[in-house]
Amino acid sequence: MPLTRAQPAPGPEAKETVAPAVDLVLGASACCLACVFTNPLEVVKTRLQLQGELQARGTYPRHYRGFVASVVAVARADGLCGLQKGLAAGLLYQGLMNGVRFYCYSLACQAGLAQQPGGTVVAGAVAGALGAFVGSPAYLVKTQLQAQTVAAMAVGHQHPHQNVLDALGTIWRQRGLAGLWQGVGGAVPRVMVGSAAQLATFASAKAWVQEQQWLPEDSWLVALAGGMVSSVAVVTVMTPFDVASTRLYNQPVDGAGRGQLYGGLADCLVKIWRQEGPLALYKGLGPTYLRLGPHTILSMLFWDELRKLAGRAQHQGS
């Protein structure tokens, strides 16, 4: 049974159908494409979130100060290529996480869940949780690679990985399969709230813009407007979980695979609040928005446009 997009507007676009398997490919492709452009912002965000870990403000050197200065600092320490650290792992994560996320969300829409009150939020949260679990090993490696830098500029624990395959192999040999899912307890809530906010607000904002008839119904600007609204919602609710997730993924572990700094998501959030202050939960907010904003806008725009093309091709072939 084909999938009809939730909340279709009147007109030819309402007749387009896209199968969930197609949404899997389109969603993964769109987010991977967006990742290429936004990965440098992810590097800066990771460094800012790890800076001053469990230290009171003013008691540690601040190597990274704001977005522009941080970009310059990374480029000086690691070269221009350093701004694309962890890109391969980031692409792997985006492909795995978003492929699963968009596929599950598409299935939920197909089942009619999106038409129920609060259905888009529930569908987005569940789809995000499943995607985060599947993509967690890739995010683990991405975080640890992006934290790597020269000793004078180092923040957080430094993991001596050479590349993605070396990191996965080292973690597997030292801690087994379970070690690859270190930090998943922080990743699942992070993506659940972000995915629910993104998918729900994108669908609602896009439908509202279409109803106002400010723009041509099939214009890419409609998807752009929906993505801009989504990005604000995502950053607002997701940043504290994002900070905690970065810390959980990057922390050193003992021989039994237990974190040496945090016992889990709740323990991490409490320690950050108590030792660094509540504002520390929004560390790297600027780069987080500059990264999540364009990433949300680009990924949702690419996804929406690719769905239109796929729907038209599918309709013409039938």
End-to-end CA distance of the chain: 14
In a domain, 129, yes or no: yes
User: How many angstroms from the chain centroid is the CA of residue 11?
Assistant: 33
Quick one: tokens of 283? 């560390």
pLDDT classification of 9: cutoffs 50, 70, 90: very low
User: Across all residues in the chain, what is the average pLDDT?
Assistant: 85
Among candidates 241, 286, 283, 281, which has minimal Cα distance to 128? 241
Residue 71 has pLDDT above 60, yes or no: yes
Q: Residue 99's domain spans which residues?
A: 20-310
Residue bearing the bigger pLDDT, 77 or 198: 77
Q: 29-41, pLDDT tens digit by residue?
A: 888 888 898 899 9
Determine the Cα–Cα distance for residues 59 and 45; give it in Å rounded to an integer: 21
In a domain, 24, yes or no: yes
Q: 101-112, pLDDT tens digit by residue?
A: 888 988 888 888
- Residue 121 pLDDT: 80
Determine the Cα–Cα distance for residues 52 and 273; give it in Å rounded to an integer: 13
Residue 16 has pLDDT above 60, yes or no: no
What is the value of pTM for the model shown?
Answer: 0.81
Q: 87-97, pLDDT tens digit by residue?
A: 999 999 999 99
Collapsed DSSP state (helix, strand, coil) of residue 3? coil
In a domain, 252, yes or no: yes
pLDDT classification of 286: cutoffs 50, 70, 90: confident
What is the number of structural domains in the chain? 1
- Residue 20 pLDDT: 80
In a domain, 204, yes or no: yes
Q: 207-262, pLDDT tens digit by residue?
A: 877 777 777 777 777 777 777 777 788 888 889 999 999 999 999 999 888 999 99
Phi, psi of 156 (to 5 degrees): 70, 180
| Contact status, residue 116 vs residue 7, Cβ threshold 8 Å | no
Residue 14 has pLDDT above 70, yes or no: no
In a domain, 127, yes or no: yes
Nearest 10 degrees: CA dihedral of 158, 161, 167, 169?
Answer: -120
- Residue 28 pLDDT: 85
Determine the Cα–Cα distance for residues 239 and 212; give it in Å rounded to an integer: 31
Residue 15 has pLDDT above 50, yes or no: no
In a domain, 72, yes or no: yes
Across 269-274, average pLDDT: 97
Count of other CB atoms within 10 angstroms of residue 67: 20
Residue bearing the bigger pLDDT, 11 or 180: 180
- Residue 195 pLDDT: 76
Q: 195-216, pLDDT tens digit by residue?
A: 778 777 877 877 877 777 777 7
Phi, psi of 124 (to 5 degrees): -65, -40
Q: Within 13 Å of residue 218, how many CA atoms lie on the same side as its CB? A: 12
| Contact status, residue 70 vs residue 42, Cβ threshold 8 Å | no
Above pLDDT 70, what percent of the chain?
89
- Residue 203 pLDDT: 75
Residue bearing the bigger pLDDT, 305 or 14: 305
Determine the Cα–Cα distance for residues 2 and 136; give it in Å rounded to an integer: 30
| Contact status, residue 54 vs residue 275, Cβ threshold 8 Å | yes
Determine the Cα–Cα distance for residues 22 and 107; give it in Å rounded to an integer: 11
Residue 7 has pLDDT above 70, yes or no: no
- Residue 12 pLDDT: 35
In a domain, 10, yes or no: no
DSSP state of 183: T
In a domain, 63, yes or no: yes
The CATH number given to whatever domain includes residue 272 is 1.50.40.10
- Residue 8 pLDDT: 40
